[in-house]
Amino acid sequence: MNPPYKSLLQRAKVTGTKLQETFELIDEHLTLEDWEDLPKRTNFSKPLARVLAAQAIEGRFDLAEISFVAPRAKLELFSLDYAESPSIGTHLPRIIYQLRENSETRHAVMHISTPSGAIPCLSAAQFLIRRNRLESIYTMRSWDLWLGLPYDMFIFRDIGRYLAKELLTSPGPIRVNAGSAHIYKKDMHSIDRYIYNS
C-alpha cells in the first residue's frame, strides 16, 4: 500500500491539522495493488470484513449478520454508511453492463447518496478497464484511517475482484482519494500501540 499504513497513521498524528476531535490530512491519496497485503489494525476482524464486502456486493444490509460475526462490534458505527446509503451492489449491474458494452468508457461511475439526505463518507466510485486490468477509483468525503480504512480497503478489493471476474479481466489497483483523512484523538492510545509495538 502506498503510502504504507503505519506511516500514514504516523503522518496524520504528527503533521495532521489538529481539530477539536481529530488530526486531519486534507486531499490524501492512497493506492493498493490487488495482490498486496491489506492493512490490518489492532482488533481487525476478517470475518466482519468478509461479511461487509459480501453485503456490499450483494446490495443488502443485514445488521443481524454483522452482529453474529462480530458480537462485540459497536453497531452504531454501521448506521449511516452501511445501512442508509444505497448499497454499492445496487449499482454493480449497471457498471458491469457499461463496461461490457464499451471497455473504454469513462461512464462507469456510481454516486452514493442517502434517502435521508445525510452525506455518507463514500461519495463516488469509478471503474476503468485499462491495459486489461480493472482500475478502481474511490472518492471519500471523510475517511477514518483507524476504524474505517482497513475494512474499506478489504471491501474495495473484493468489489474489484468481483467486477474483474464478471468482466473477464484482471483486478488492478485500487485508488482512494480522501478529502479529509483523519484519526480521532480518542483512538490515539490504540494507534500509538499499533505503530510502536507491532
Q: What is the pLDDT along the chain (198 residues), one digit of tens a residue?
A: 899 999 999 999 999 999 999 999 999 999 999 888 888 888 899 999 999 999 999 988 888 899 999 998 877 777 655 555 557 888 999 999 999 999 999 999 999 877 777 788 899 999 999 999 999 999 999 999 999 999 999 999 999 999 999 999 999 999 999 999 999 999 999 999 999 886
Q: 0.85 cut: is pTM over it?
A: yes
How many other CB atoms sit within 10 Å of the CB of residue 105?
Answer: 15
Q: What distances in angstroms separate CA 128 from CA 27, 36, 61, 134, 136, one per listed residue? A: 22, 20, 27, 6, 7
Question: Spelled out in words, what is the top-level CATH class assigned to the domain 5-197?
Answer: alpha beta
The distance between the two most distant Cα atoms of the chain, rounded to a whole number of Å, is: 50
**145 in Cβ contact with 153 (< 8 Å):** no
CB 134 within 8 A of CB 163: yes
Side by side, which strands form the sheet with 122-130? Answer: 17-18, 22-32, 170-184, 133-144, 122-130, 109-111
